[in-house]
């Protein structure tokens, strides 16, 4: 009341605005596998093998450039066993990324991208891939972000030869 006498208005409670961004639901391990596994692929070239992830429903695959080094055409196997041929559309050896197009008109499951700028040291992550060039079921390894080095992450997830190109996802399967 004294403040009002001095011409100061009392602080009114403001209504909290609701954030229009939907809250993501944290997934358990089996839900993460169910969500991501259909978009993980096994890539074979004449010189070796690796992993990749489908990034668009029309069949674009992101992998590491070293997985498809020296190749134009590759063989791609989906986690459910279907096999397709693929064409390397481009690669950047400096950042070690490549894009492959699956040669099919089929619609594919794809990964959902998250916001890696929000990833912090200690966050739980999960690596998918086909280690040691072994076809069959997709490998799933748990770990954490050990540290961030510029735009790159170091993880405690086991990454073996052949896992290259596979996704590293968060607890929301992104």
CA atoms 78, 101, 174, 141: torsion sign = positive
DSSP 8-state secondary structure symbol assigned to residue 133: G
pLDDT at 4: 42
**What pLDDT shows up at residue 55?**
98
Q: Which two tokens stand for residue 153?
A: 């992450």
Given a cut of 70, whether residue 77 has pLDDT beyond it is yes
pLDDT digits (tens, 9 = 90+) for 112-125: 999 999 999 999 99
Residue 64 pLDDT level (bands cut at 50, 70, 90): very high
pLDDT, residue 22, reads 64
Residue 14: per-residue pLDDT: 41
Q: How far is CA 9 from the centre of its chain?
A: 52
Beta-bridge partner residues of 169 = 126
By annotation, the residues acting in catalysis are 66, 96, 164
Distance CA 174, CA 165 (A): 15
CB 98 within 8 A of CB 67: yes
How much of the chain exceeds pLDDT 90, in percent? 70
Q: Given this model, what pLDDT does residue 20 score? A: 55
Top-confidence residue, 164 or 62 = 62
The lowest-confidence range among 53-67, 86-100, 126-140 is 126-140
C-beta separation of 155 from 143 below 8 A: yes
Reported as a single tens digit per residue, the pLDDT across 8-63 is 444 444 444 444 556 789 999 999 999 999 999 999 999 989 999 999 999 999 99
pLDDT, mean over the chain? 87
Cβ burial, residue 50 (10 Å; 0-12/13-18/19+):
buried
pLDDT > 80? residue 128: yes
User: How many helices and strands, by DSSP H and E, does the chain display?
Assistant: 2, 10
Beta-strand ranges (E) seen in the chain are: 40-44, 49-54, 60-63, 73-78, 83-92, 97-102, 124-129, 139-149, 152-155, 168-169
């Amino acid at each position: 009341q004294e403040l009002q006498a001095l011409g100061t208005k009392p602080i009114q409670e403001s209504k909290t605005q609701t954030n229009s961004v939907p809250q993501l639901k944290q997934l358990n391990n089996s839900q993460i596998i169910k969500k991501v596994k259909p978009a993980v692929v096994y890539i074979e070239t004449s010189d070796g093998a690796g992993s990749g992830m489908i990034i668009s429903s029309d069949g674009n695959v992101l992998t590491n450039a070293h997985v498809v080094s020296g190749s134009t055409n590759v063989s791609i196997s989906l986690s459910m066993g279907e096999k397709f041929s693929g064409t390397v559309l481009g690669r950047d050896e400096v950042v070690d990324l490549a894009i492959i197009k699956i040669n099919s008109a089929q619609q594919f499951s794809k990964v959902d991208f998250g916001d890696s700028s929000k990833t912090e040291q200690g966050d739980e992550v999960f690596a998918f891939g086909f280690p040691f060039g072994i076809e069959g079921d997709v490998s799933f390894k748990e770990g954490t972000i050990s540290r961030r080095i510029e735009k790159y992450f170091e993880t405690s997830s086991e990454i073996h030869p052949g896992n290259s190109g596979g996704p590293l996802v968060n607890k929301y399967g992104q």
